[in-house]
Amino acid sequence: MNTLNDAIEAIRAAGRIAITTHIRPDGDALGATLGLRRILSATGRQASIVAMDPPPLRYRFMMREDVIIPASETSSDAYDLLIVLDTGSTDRIPASIRDWIPRLRTLNIDHHPTNTRFADVNHVDPVASSVGEMICELAERAGFAIAADAAEALWVALITDTGRFAYSNTRPATLQAAATLLRTGIPTSQIDDRIYNTTNAAQIRLQGRAIEHLELHENGRCALVSLSREDFAELGCTGEDADEIVNIPRRVMGADVALFLYELQGENPRETKASFRTGELFDAASLCRELGGGGHARAAGCTLPMPLPQAREHILAVIHNAWFPES
């Protein structure tokens, strides 16, 4: 039961620690990774970020003296412990270090209910808002200080995974962690501007294209937007420009299933990524797990090995059968 103490023990027993997170890292993955690296370095441990994908542009300001060591420049022998953050299964670990898992002692700190417990020590807390929140709790329990540089990274983890403390995963412990971070004097308003108020014209045009493609299904209870590979190419956009778009169908009143479908760049044959946001009635994580993906009850996703039109038909049929069989 007390996996937090097990996690602290694993960290205490290690002198040379590698930290990584899931591919295509989001705000929580980056914030937790940078935050934990800074906390552990301040305790005198050797802590390195290994094989992490580079941060998307909007999060690049978070990088300070942090160095991402590519797998080609190191090996599993250089560490006593690999900490994998915000990652529910091994297929989400960067491919270049996936084979480190059996070779090295591993600690997984995660909050996905779909977590497969792939590590030696698994500290998994599905009710935690974010791994950032879990790192705050760990630092406090272990007596590790959280300085302002770590607090800034963990703040990003908290606000991005909770929709700035608006989603139902925000709990009293989330705001207590937030209070701990605020006491270090971090510039929260500047951080907010860096992440949320940096849209460019191409991203706004991409949102416009998605809005044009809005569809309603199941008597308005399922709202869907989609973007094809051609939409991205015409507007000069990449998948990175699309990370807020699932919030567009979420805003439709009466839609308790919001869905964003888009074709990934450069994948041949074409693949379609699906992002789900659901209300309390529908468990997006279990539906996405059946489709080969995973995530959280209210926010989950999967990738289907087919072009957008087929993926759209398939997912709408799966949603209908699972959630609206009567209608």
By beta carbon distance, the residue nearest Mn ion is 28
**Under 8 Å between Cβ of 277 and 250:** yes
In this structure, what are the phi and psi dihedrals at residue 323, rounded to the nearest 5 degrees?
-115, -20
| Nearest residue (CB) to Mn ion, 86 versus 137 | 86
> How many whole angstroms separate alpha carbon 272 and alpha carbon 228?
9
Sole window of 76-84, 137-145, 161-169, 209-217 interacting with Mn ion (rule: CB under 5 A): 161-169
| Nearest residue (CB) to Mn ion, 86 versus 149 | 86
- List the beta bridge partners of residue 48: 18
Sole window of 34-42, 85-93, 213-221, 307-315 interacting with Mn ion (rule: CB under 5 A): 85-93
| Nearest residue (CB) to Mn ion, 27 versus 249 | 27
Q: Please report how close the Cβ of residue 205 comes to Mn ion at its closest, in angstroms.
A: 29
According to CB under 5 A, which one of 66, 86, 125, 256 is a site residue for Mn ion?
86
Q: Please report how close the Cβ of residue 326 comes to Mn ion at its closest, in angstroms.
A: 34
Residues 6+ apart with CB under 8 A from 132: 28, 31, 32, 35, 153, 154, 155, 156, 157, 158, 161, 177
Q: Please report how close the Cβ of residue 130 comes to Mn ion at its closest, in angstroms.
A: 5
> How many whole angstroms separate alpha carbon 294 and alpha carbon 131?
16
**Under 8 Å between Cβ of 115 and 124:** yes
The type of residue at 119 is A
| Nearest residue (CB) to Mn ion, 161 versus 283 | 161
| Nearest residue (CB) to Mn ion, 161 versus 263 | 161
What residues numbered 10-49 form the site for Mn ion, per CB under 5 A?
28
Q: Please report how close the Cβ of residue 284 comes to Mn ion at its closest, in angstroms.
A: 14
User: Using the rule CB under 5 A, is 110 a contact of Mn ion?
Assistant: no
User: Using the rule CB under 5 A, is 161 a contact of Mn ion?
Assistant: yes
**Under 8 Å between Cβ of 53 and 24:** yes
Q: Please report how close the Cβ of residue 107 comes to Mn ion at its closest, in angstroms.
A: 16
Q: 191 exposed, middle or buried (CB, 10 Å; 0-12, 13-18, 19+)?
A: middle
| Nearest residue (CB) to Mn ion, 86 versus 271 | 86
In the sheet that holds 215-217, the strands lie side by side as 215-217, 222-227, 257-263, 272-278, 299-304, 294-295
Residues 6+ apart with CB under 8 A from 321: none
Q: Please report how close the Cβ of residue 92 comes to Mn ion at its closest, in angstroms.
A: 11
| Nearest residue (CB) to Mn ion, 28 versus 66 | 28
CA 62 to chain centre: 16
Q: CA nearest 11: which of 112, 100, 85, 102?
A: 85
Q: Please report how close the Cβ of residue 131 comes to Mn ion at its closest, in angstroms.
A: 5
| Nearest residue (CB) to Mn ion, 28 versus 271 | 28
Q: Please report how close the Cβ of residue 111 comes to Mn ion at its closest, in angstroms.
A: 6
The count of residues interacting with Mn ion (CB under 5 A) is 3
- Binding interface with Mn ion (CB under 5 A): 28, 86, 161
